Structure 1
Amino acid sequence: MHTSSTADRILGAARALFEDGGEAAVSMRRIAARAGIAPMTIYRHFPNRAALLQRLGEDGTRELTDRLSTPPDTPDPIERLLELQEVYLDYALKHPQLFEPGLLRSGSDPNRFPDDVKARRSGLFNVMADTIADGMEQGRLADDDPWEVAMTLWAHAIGLITLYRAERFTYDEAGFRGFYRTSLRRMLCGLEAEPCTLDSPMEHAG
């Protein structure tokens, strides 16, 4: 029990430092000071700083996967996909420091496309691919490879968020959120089995 409590304190201190200042803010001495332990105590739980940072990324990925795994409350697969992407955006903007190491670095999520993903080893893709497959079965989306469509949508979303974080938009956050939703809907329109319109209640969401 004591071991688990100490490890949790270490992770909590490391995450607080990371979210405040990124990797540069995370040092064993700072973690120890924040957690109220001796620096050498950290090495009983984590072999080095790199392992600790990797764990933070893994925890972030797991948190996001859990949030994506809660089915959106709508029967329409198109709206469910948009809501899933909204959850993704919310997490990325709320935890900007965790966004890159948690989702992009191979060290924190070693699953690669297509082999690992199609073997259902990536929780981030499973829920999206299943929603897409459901849309194809309902006739809402054109028949295609749901895993490849999921990767296309994910890459589009992560690209937009990365550009926003790099300050390549003049939008404030509300403006970017509106653009993000409309941009994703444009992509989904191209995937639908029947002609669609960009007009949607989600476009006017707060």
Structure 2
Amino acid sequence: MARIKTDIAGVSRGEPVRQRVIDAAERLLREGRADFSMRDLAADAGVSFATPFNHFGSKAAIMQALSERRIDEMTRRFANSPIVPDAASRVLLAVDVAADVMLEEPDVSRAVMSWLGTPSAAPGRVWERSTSLWRLALGDGDGLDAAWREEALDRLPGQLAFAFRGVLSFWTAGELADDAIGPRAREIVQTLLMGFTERLLSKRADI
């Protein structure tokens, strides 16, 4: 947990200007201007036209940064949530927290998500951030089947990142309603956990 918090709080030399550009991009999205140009962005941020390019390189990279910001907020809220007793319950709590963050400003979140499949000169850190959130939720894997715990902790963070991103992709495309994000994400997360959770394994053995 400490590693993730340090990573989120880390500030580089150009961070204030970067944050100003990201803040401006978010404002433009809130105004319904998802098609904003880099010139529009620079003007709203109060920086030179070249600044967004110098710090990000492309609009796609700025949208990746906005996605990373959302995952950082999910992580912050999850870390400040009441303690729950086992890994499966924590992961389900993380799903609820993540869905809440995405739905606070659904139009903005959809606009950001729609850009994540767009290539940029340098890869973003969305995958890294998302995987870290689910790794944090799993913790030490308490409640997972002891025989498979090590494998679960190795595989599940990435699989959970894939799963939640998949649900968001269908939501962004308009195939899932806002109120379906949480339930659908919970279903797929429970399916992924099923093979590694002692309680679910014992129930399955009784069938």
Mark yes or no: TM-score above 0.5: yes
Distance 1:102-1:66 versus aligned 2 partners, 3 A rule? farther
- 1:61 maps onto 2:75 in alignment: no
Instruction: Look at both structures and tell me which one has the larger radius of gyration over its CA atoms.
Output: 1
How far the C-alpha of 1:27 sits from its partner, in A, is 1.2
Within the candidate set 120, 124, 128, 1:109 is matched to 124
CA distance in 2, matches of 1:27, 1:11: 14
Alignment deviations for residues 111-141 of structure 1 (CA, whole Å, 9 cap, x no partner): 87xxxxxxxxx34323422443512xx3434
Q: Residues 39-97 of structure 1, C-alpha deviation per residue, up to 9 Å, x if partnerless?
A: xx232464388445424422430441343144242122211101112233333443222
Q: How many residues align?
A: 177
Task: Give deviations 1:7-55, integer Å, cap 9, x for gaps.
Answer: 6554433332245243xx22133235545x58xx232464388445424
Q: Please list every run of 5 or more consecutive structure 1 residues that lacks an aligned counterpart in the other structure.
A: 113-121, 198-206
SS of the equivalent of 1:195 reads helix
Q: Hey, what does 2:5 align to over in structure 1?
A: none
Alignment of 1:1-206 (within 5 A): 9-18=20-29, 20-22=32-34, 25-35=35-45, 37=46, 41-44=48-51, 46-47=53-54, 50-51=57-58, 53-69=60-76, 70-71=78-79, 72-73=81-82, 74-93=84-103, 94=105, 95-101=109-115, 107-109=122-124, 122-132=128-138, 134-135=140-141, 138-141=142-145, 142-143=148-149, 144-169=151-176, 172-195=177-200
CA–CA distance in structure 1, aligned partners of residues 126 and 20 of structure 2 = 28
Percent identical among aligned pairs is 16
| Map of 2:11 onto structure 1 | none
Separation in structure 1 between the aligned mates of residue 63 and residue 126 of structure 2, nearest angstrom = 17
Query: In the alignment, residue 194 of structure 1 is paired with which amino acid?
Result: R
> Cα–Cα, structure 1 residues 52 and 174, in superposed 2: closer, same or farther, change >3 Å?
closer
Distance 1:50 1:184, change over 3 A: same
Once residues 127 and 13 of structure 1 are traced to their aligned partners in structure 2, the CA distance between those partners, rounded to angstroms, is 26
**Structure 1 residue 187 displacement after superposition:** 2.8
Say which SS state the counterpart of residue 200 (structure 2) adopts. Answer: coil
- Give me the TM-score of the superposition, normalised by structure 2: 0.64
Aligned counterpart, 1:119: none
- 1:10–1:42 CA contact under 8 A, matched in 2: no
What TM-score comes out, normalization by structure 1 length?
0.64
Unaligned runs of 5+ in 2: 1-13
Aligned in 2, Cα 1:33/1:165: closer, same or farther, shift over 3 Å?
Answer: same
Preserved CA contact (<8 Å) 1:78 1:188: yes
